[in-house]
Amino acid sequence: MNRIFYRIFPLIVLAIAVAAVAIYFLLSRLFGDPLEDIARKQAAGPIFLLEQYIDQAPPDEWLVRLNKVREVSGLSLELVPLDTALPALDDARRGALERGNIVLDIGGKSLLRRVDLAGERYVGSEDEVLHVRNLPIDVGLELKMEALRYLVVALCVLVPIALWSRSHWLELLSLSQVADRFGEGRLSVRARTKKASGLYPLSLRMNQMAERIESLLGAHRDLLHSVSHEVRTPIARIEFSLELLRDAAGPDEREARIRLMEDDLRELNGLVNELLQLTRLDQPQAARAQRFSLAETLHDSAARLEHAFAGKRFAQELPEDLGDMAGDRRLVARAIGNLLANGAKYAHREVRLSASSSAPASSAPGGDGDWIEVIVEDDGPGIPADARERIFEPFYRLDRSRDRATGGFGLGLAIARKAVQLHGGTITVADSPLGGAKFILRLPRGMASGARLPETASRN
Ligand code: ADP
């Protein structure tokens, strides 16, 4: 059933009826009652007789002519007192009758007209009214024709609306079927609406939403899979150490086993902390907006990692006029800290941290605004072009054996990217002139430049 049409149908019929009545009243007000015009044309013969034959008679012949008309026509002509005729009329008609005009009664098929205004026809003729009945008036046909006209207009409006609403209804049904199937778990279904359709923007949004939900669920499934996999290794090692602990020969061996188990527990703890950090960054309110000095934050992040650079050259090119930025200082520091820690881990000899800021762009809304660029690069093995997107996925590592040795879970870059995205920024990777990887972090300086940080306190 096409519900759109059945909802709109009574509304359109009502609108056309209201339009018909409004048109009638407007025309009556501006040009006089159209029905009266029609009735006057239909009664033109008797009116002609009255005005041109009876009225033109000399006073002594007036009654004779009146009787003659009575005899030859089917009209009924009666004389009634003016006082009797006036009360039955409305104000406008009463005035017209008093002025000596013809007053038509369409429903009664009759007319009223004063005999004369000066009493010249006979004694007291100024107080008498000629009531002519059985006039050949029939406005029924005109009313039927008018109704037919509005009916044709209504049909001409309703037919295209019915066709239009039917196509929309079918498209709505197919969209709701897609939503049903998606709800049942078939996450790959998509709406296929024609570009010309009015529902195309809606189906586009639905498809984008479905795409996002599918990829989010996929990412969650992969994450769960990776987490189980990552957790399994230290648990297996703890189980193994426990077995060995039972058979330990002396206190020294027991102590050594316990230390190994503590290491594994620390690893598990670290993994859980990193995971919590990553999932919290999925919430837009994970960040707290504040104004802070970027140069200071970069210096602090580097200082905190000083021990990691031992034995490696660490160069900084940080202009002091970098200025302030609006955002969550801890999250920005965490992102940069993760990049620096990686640089320190993978560099052979050198890590370089540099930063610059774009000239303030036009302040027009929607403009690019002012951006800050932070670069962390090293002379390590670099990152192959085909892995430059994947390294930001949780638990993705280029070389598992190498990274296991360096103690990474593969979550550092995922956390860094999420923290930067929360600020409306980006992290990309390129080749460094130093020979290794070059991480380019772009951050909008202010909230207006695209950061989506609400003024709420961070929970972590
Ligand atoms: P991890 O904690 O294992 O370092 P990350 O998410 O920080 O995890 O990095 C993901 C992977 O990206 C790393 O395992 C490593 O293979 C690669 N990677 C990250 N930074 C660098 C770098 N500076 N040079 C070379 N490879 C890197």
Rounded to the nearest whole angstrom, what is the distance from the C-alpha of residue 423 to the centroid of ligand 1? Answer: 22
Neighbouring residues of 303: CB distance < 8 A, sequence distance ≥ 6:
none
Q: Are residues 320 and 445 in the same domain?
A: yes
pTM: 0.62
Which residue range forms the structural domain that includes residue 245?
216-282
Q: What percent of the chain has pLDDT over 70?
A: 93
What CATH number corresponds to the domain at position 235? 1.10.287.130
pLDDT band per the 50, 70, 90 thresholds, residue 40: very high
CB count within 10 Å of CB 65 equals: 16
Closest protein CA for atom 7 of ligand 1:
412
Mean pLDDT over 206-220 rounds to: 93
Q: Return the pLDDT at 359.
A: 57
Closest protein CA for atom 12 of ligand 1:
391
Q: What percent of the chain has pLDDT over 90?
A: 61
Q: Decide: 215 and 207 in contact? Cβ < 8 Å.
A: no
Q: Which domain-ending residue is among 88, 122, 141?
A: 141
Residue 155 lies in a domain: no
Q: Return the pLDDT at 361.
A: 38
What amino acid occupies position 443? Answer: L
Rounded to the nearest whole angstrom, what is the distance from the C-alpha of residue 409 to the centroid of ligand 1? Answer: 9
Position 247 pLDDT exceeds 90: no
Q: Are residues 309 and 434 in the same domain?
A: yes
Position 248 pLDDT exceeds 80: no
Report the domain count for the chain: 3
Rounded to the nearest whole angstrom, what is the distance from the C-alpha of residue 254 to the centroid of ligand 1? Answer: 35
Q: Return the pLDDT at 47.
A: 95
Q: Return the pLDDT at 307.
A: 85
Atom of ligand 1 nearest to the CA of 436: 24
Rounded to the nearest whole angstrom, what is the distance from the C-alpha of residue 344 to the centroid of ligand 1? Answer: 11
Rounded to the nearest whole angstrom, what is the distance from the C-alpha of residue 294 to the centroid of ligand 1? Answer: 24
Q: Decide: 320 and 331 in contact? Cβ < 8 Å.
A: no
Q: Return the pLDDT at 448.
A: 39
Q: Return the pLDDT at 222.
A: 87
Q: Are residues 271 and 309 in the same domain?
A: no
Q: Return the pLDDT at 157.
A: 92
Mean pLDDT over 42-51 rounds to: 94
Position 367 pLDDT exceeds 50: no
Least confident span in 282-291, 316-325, 346-355: 282-291
Closest protein CA for atom 13 of ligand 1:
397
Q: Return the pLDDT at 405.
A: 54
Rounded to the nearest whole angstrom, what is the distance from the C-alpha of residue 209 to the centroid of ligand 1? Answer: 31
Closest protein CA for atom 16 of ligand 1:
398
Residue 70 lies in a domain: yes
Q: Distance between CA 194 and CA 37 in Å, rounded?
A: 54
Q: DSSP states of 365-406 as a string?
A: TTS---EEEEEEEESSS---GGGTTGGGSTT--S-HHHHHHH
Atom of ligand 1 nearest to the CA of 378: 23
Position 452 pLDDT exceeds 60: no
Mean pLDDT over 448-460 rounds to: 39
Chain centroid to Cα 61, Å, comes to 85
Position 421 pLDDT exceeds 80: yes
Rounded to the nearest whole angstrom, what is the distance from the C-alpha of residue 377 to the centroid of ligand 1? Answer: 12
Tokens of 297: 């934050």
Residue 399 lies in a domain: yes
Residues with CB under 6 A from ligand 1: 338, 342-343, 346, 378, 380-381, 383, 391, 396-399, 403, 408-414, 436-437
Q: Are residues 250 and 110 in the same domain?
A: no
Residue 9 lies in a domain: yes
Rounded to the nearest whole angstrom, what is the distance from the C-alpha of residue 345 to the centroid of ligand 1? Answer: 9
299 versus 288: the higher-pLDDT residue is 299
Q: Which domain-ending residue is among 141, 159, 188?
A: 141
Least confident span in 79-93, 101-115, 198-212, 220-234: 220-234
Query: Which of 391, 392, 393, 395, when mutated, tests ligand 1's pocket best, judged by the most ligand atoms within 8 Å of its CB?
Result: 391
Query: Which of 271, 312, 398, 439, when mutated, tests ligand 1's pocket best, judged by the most ligand atoms within 8 Å of its CB?
Result: 398
Mean pLDDT over 231-257 rounds to: 87
What CATH number corresponds to the domain at position 96? 3.30.70
Q: Are residues 350 and 223 in the same domain?
A: no
Mean pLDDT (the chain) is 88
What CATH number corresponds to the domain at position 391? 3.30.565.10
Q: Which domain-ending residue is among 87, 119, 141?
A: 141
Q: Are residues 270 and 300 in the same domain?
A: no
Query: Which of 226, 334, 403, 418, when mutated, tests ligand 1's pocket best, judged by the most ligand atoms within 8 Å of its CB?
Result: 403
Give whole-number Cα distances, 225 to 88, 115, 166, 256, in Å.
94, 108, 47, 32
Q: Are residues 306 and 436 in the same domain?
A: yes
> What is the per-residue pLDDT across 390-405, written as a single tens digit (0 to 9) for each?
999 998 888 765 555 5
Q: Are residues 347 and 408 in the same domain?
A: yes
Mean pLDDT over 302-321 rounds to: 88
